[in-house]
Structure 1
């Protein structure tokens, strides 16, 4: 930094130089003269503090200095430590505009424009993504070796995807239906997680591993109205492509996308294929002349079975006439030849169903309090390619025996026997019931 005395001295020298320039060169306004003075004072900050006074006396009063006046050796002017190449260029441009008293030659540093509006969030409904905004270094643009703008031109921040009302409503409805189905089979899970508060680990007591994530995401959606899973939906199929060949057997293609809507927050992806192809027979065969053998196309691949499961269907292969009216079979003109064969895709998938509960087992206690058990099986029907059964396979209940069990039903049981047996069981003394 210049001291106050040195600054005043330099200011006076600059004013004298600018006044002399007005006489020798061009008359400039008082405002321009003031601007030139401030430009030069600002740019002197790039010279090493020990060289500033000498530079003003020598280069602004007696001689015209050049880049060669600066060098990292004794007897030369030195730049302030850390001065960049761009700052040095700006210094010499300012020096030139001051000597010539031409404000139009002075460097113009760039300044930022205002930020534009934020872009839309990159995330889908209730997802986490980013949004951006930009600004430009054009207010004004840097010119005459002026410095560029400092700082970033792009700003990025985290954002949450907005949901349209229908997407959120669909997510809540789907979550409610799934929770109702699970809680119907496992009422205790409803008590612990929907009515009360549970953690993900709580689910290990009730649900198989492949069911936990879906239940948890639907619970968060329905209970807290956030991060609702949205299952993906297919867009409409695109148009079929042209046949891949001009003459003979080829293929047609079409596509669709899982974007209507896109799956978010653990929602299921779209079932089925995103890509389809089918065979085609192109008949632009005018280049085939005379009795060229290949008036029929090649046999196509067999079509898919006409039924998906459960019963017999058929599938066909065909070859088509490429030259209309010239395909003869046993003396007759034909357009196509077709072969059909039966097909069977197997039994249809079915969801498993519970059998009836078995009878309760005998109480585990000989006398007093114990436990009893009953079972059921996922066999009515057995699952076949479909989902298994929801809920427990084993159910237990408390029971109480006021009399000890007898191995020989014809032998009466005495008080002593019950008392003796009950002393080994949790239930305690059963004498009172034997009166």
Structure 2
């Protein structure tokens, strides 16, 4: 009983000492709630979702003393130590077809601990219609062969060719014809031509007569040869033999001096820890100078640097992160006691956002937690009636395809009856916005197909 009371008191004391930080990294560390070993990395790349610069295997809570770090579990997926947040959307991928309409996609990730807020339900995959080329290639057909052209030589054996056009019909949109547009056949002149000799290409350089240069001696040499066989001269009628030498010799000046292999010196002392918070590394180095290599000798086998993990037992600062703005509030005028709906009186709208996750002397979010703008209230309420003329707006842009993958994907556009309001006015150089929903009159009746349109998204990839 006494031991149980001491344990409870000890936990309460630890909780009292903890700083108030979103997430429970420090509590996990002190209580040992997450002692799983992970591969810890100095950097989690927010653009690619990859881990860079391995530190070593440590406990997950030790690794995440620095929120910029990343780690891998046995599953192999790279994970971020920061609180959950969305990555940027990737660039749009290629169109799913090379011609006519298809779709292209982009993705984003939720990286970090916890879940990402998604009030607009954008998800992790977006799909939209694309068209790289508004027509598909159509093959043509070959016309008739033309006549055979004269023989290519005046003596000996040659070739003759004929041609045809891809014009029956002509191809469209980058198409072509299957097969060749030229045809060849051998032709004989009946006259024998003399064949003059010509050198073949130089052969590769042969091996050097030695493997290294000795100081004070001439370097070894090597040879390259060629033959008068490209073609060989004819005997009847007689052709000319090749002019020049069939052998070339060069010195192997590029050979190294006879080598002296290097040897390792002693290890130097370990450095200070590479970080002042979280986990890092200490390094020791040694030089390949015992003896130093000379004349292209072999480098020392092994590493010139070794490391060991060091623990500072200090949590790194965690900077605050802005959350999304909340919705704009009601348009009000604090100095005017009556409702301002449908009046010329300007009010103020506010919206707020929260700076979360700041802890351990991290930086606060830069900027204000409150935003405001001037507004006219056009809300139709029980207390204050507000009626405005309405008009049908233009068609909206086509939406993203839903669902974003698989069968039955569609996109939609709509027209809405909106208040016919004047352009935003300015008050002392500030733009003024309309707030609220009035009662609309005057929008002519439209059929459903003139208010909402949908169409299939073609060639959507499977999920």
TM-score band by shorter chain is under 0.3
TM-score (norm 2): 0.17
Mark the structure with the bigger radius of gyration: 1
- Larger relative contact order (Cα-Cα within 8 Å, sequence gap ≥ 6): 2
TM-score (norm 1): 0.18
| Structure (1/2) with the larger strand percentage | 2
| Structure (1/2) with the larger helix percentage | 1
